[in-house]
Amino acid sequence: MVDVIEKDLLIVGSGLAGLRAAIQAAKTSTKIKIAVISKVQVMRSHSVSAEGGTAAVIFEDEGDSLESHAYDTIKGSDFLADQDVVERFVSIMPSEIYQLEHWGMPWSRRKDGRIGQRAFGGYSFPRASYAQDKVGFYEMQTLYDTCQKFDNIEFFNEWFVTSIVHDGQQFCGLTAIEISSGTFYTIKGKGLIIAAGGAGRLYSFSTYALSSTPDGLDLAYRAGMALKDMEFVQFHPTGILPSGILITEGARGDGGYLINNKGERFMKNYAAKLMELAPRDIVSRSMMTEMQEGRGFKHETGVDCLKIDLRHLGDDLIKEKLAAVREISMKFSGVDPSKEPLEVRPVCHYMMGGVHTNIDGATEIKGIWAAGEVACNSTHGSNRLGANSTGECLVWGKLTGEFAAEYVLSCKTPPFPLYQVETEEKRIYDGVFRGRGDVNPYEIKQELTDTMNDKAYVFRNENDLITGLKKIRELRELTWKHVDDQAKEYNTNFTNVLELDAMFRVTEVLLLGAIYRKESRGAHARTDYPNRDDKNFLHHTLVYHAKEPIIKTHPVAITKYKPVERKY
């Protein structure tokens, strides 16, 4: 007999999008019973790691404008962003900055007392509102504190969601494992918001927490929803070696230089106007070109790298505005950034793709929404501008929270398809937990992520992508679906193997999309197809789950900004 919990609105994920959704839903109606379900403790959600800022136009009196923010975002996306979505995003963001402030967000300040904003890549004005270089931590703390004001929000910390239950058209519930006890549950609900974050741990060299595996993406994919634009992976220019931990774009926004082994600020050769503050895809490709042409450094591990120089900023500014960068640098690289440059290299940092949604965050199944990095409403197109991701979490957290709350107040729930719970229990227990094999799943996971590093990095080509896909499929066929630890309580061996199961499906989607898209656009740079091809590829990629994944296309919403060549 499976244990059953009943709630009204279920939110999977407790990062910025999940918490913002919970607050908005609770504000919409105190009658709604809300469950926030997370595989980690709330304040360990990866959103706490966001460093640099949250973009919004709050100084129109100083020349900035919503139209400028919209165009910068659309141009930065290499014209694959849905323009109606971007226009909604930039119009709502200013009020979210002030809302956070009213809830207690400790924004950094200018000398005149107004909220501080720093320069970020691809923007025409400094519009990244910041709190030192710990914006994600402070935003998360502010939202989590605010959640405590609502009696109808309940947190399920350390629960692993394994499947979405629906009748083919409408949401009915979830299945999940309470990690502390090992108990398998059915959680019935009327509405669902998927806010489970990105999939950056598909790569070995990554800024993401180890928990950032594509479980949320896979939940949607196995339930019949499309994954959209998964070929577009953002590689942030400045990950420190060897860990991959992020050095925020705020370090360049506050005046840091990228230098090669000749001591040159090489970005003058690639984006003379914006230099180090060109969009991330351009900076990362420029860095790779410098290293490939012999102007890089050798890290002690043997990996090619370049350097970011903050020395000229001075010790006082670094301690005031880049305190986390200083701490990370000293702890993980043994370098004081006020005294010597840091060795850096492009690192997996964000997924532009995700669960296919419309402008409201609604998915293809009635009663299910998605928000934050797990979703693809096409705010970012093929390349995200820095500081727009935390903003997207806030805006669509708010919107989906409100829409979902209104829905559950009036919806009629269909008969619960109990057979799906039985099928899922058999899949994870008979197929994984009680399965047996002779291959170490942790070694398989390492091979998978190393393959992605090698075959689907900043520069790609057909041969590497096909080789990578073949390797992933070979690994998937090995007998890794087994769990050595047979304990019920806190069996992370079990959840790690379930994560790996999800990684295989989502990796396949990413590689298929990258093979299919025979052009270079934004973060997807093909050396064998070096030009953008609007005639054949100005559309989104949709992939549906089947024995052989099904690839479809979806039009880009263009309102008033016609695609042009990107120049910075």
pLDDT reported for residue 2 = 80
Stretch (H or E) spanning 114: none
58 in a structural domain: no
506: amino acid identity, one letter: V
Within 10 A of 492 (CB to CB), how many other CB atoms are there?
12
Chain-centre distance of CA 319, in angstroms? 28
Q: Is residue 8 part of a domain?
A: no
- Flag whether 428 is in a domain: yes
pLDDT at residue 250, as a whole number: 86
> What average pLDDT does range 541-551 have in this prediction?
97
Which domain CATH number covers 285? 3.90.700.10
In this prediction, residues 351-372 reach a mean pLDDT of 98
pTM: 0.96
pLDDT in tens, 430-454: 999 999 999 999 999 999 999 999 9
Say what the pLDDT of residue 172 is. Answer: 98
pLDDT in tens, 12-62: 999 999 999 999 999 999 999 999 999 999 999 999 999 889 999 999 999
Please write the tens of the pLDDT for every residue from 454-510: 999 999 999 999 999 999 999 999 999 999 999 999 999 999 999 999 999 999 999
pLDDT digits (tens, 9 = 90+) for 219-243: 999 999 999 999 999 999 999 998 8
Are 430 and 535 in the same domain? yes
Count of domains observed in the chain: 2
CATH number reported for the structural domain that contains residue 461 in this entry = 1.20.58.100
State whether 340 and 438 are in the same domain.
no
DSSP readout, 80-101?
-S-HHHHHHHHHHHHHHHHHHH
Tens digit of each residue's pLDDT (9 = 90 or more) over 301-320 = 999 999 999 999 998 899 88
**Residues 424 and 528 reside in one and the same domain:** yes
Rounded average pLDDT over 167-174:
96
Q: What is the pLDDT of residue 160?
A: 98
Of 310, 331, 346, the residue at which a domain comes to its end is 346
Is 490 contained in some domain?
yes
Residues that are catalytic: 236, 252
| Contact predicate 541/217, CB 8 Å | no
Q: Across residues 97-121, what is the average pLDDT?
A: 95
Residue 321 is predicted with a pLDDT of 86
pLDDT (0 to 100) of residue 9: 98
Q: Are residues 341 and 433 in the same domain?
A: no
Together in a domain, 318 and 425? no
Nearest Cα to Cα of residue 196 among 180, 172, 219, 225: 219
Same domain, 425 and 524: yes
Q: Which three-class secondary structure state does DSSP give residue 6? A: strand
Let me know whether 324 and 428 are in one domain.
Answer: no
For residue 14, being part of any structural domain is answered with no
Same domain, 426 and 530: yes
Say if 319 falls within a structural domain: yes
Which ranges of 243-362 does DSSP label H, i.e. alpha helix? 250-253, 280-292, 315-321, 323-332
| 435 and 329 in a common domain | no
- Domain end, chosen from 346, 378, 399, is at 346
Whether residues 428 and 518 fall in one domain = yes
Confidence at residue 133, expressed as pLDDT on a 0 to 100 scale: 87
| Domain contains 520 | yes
Across 241-247, average pLDDT: 90
Domain that residue 533 falls in: 420-539
> Does a structural domain hold residue 27?
no
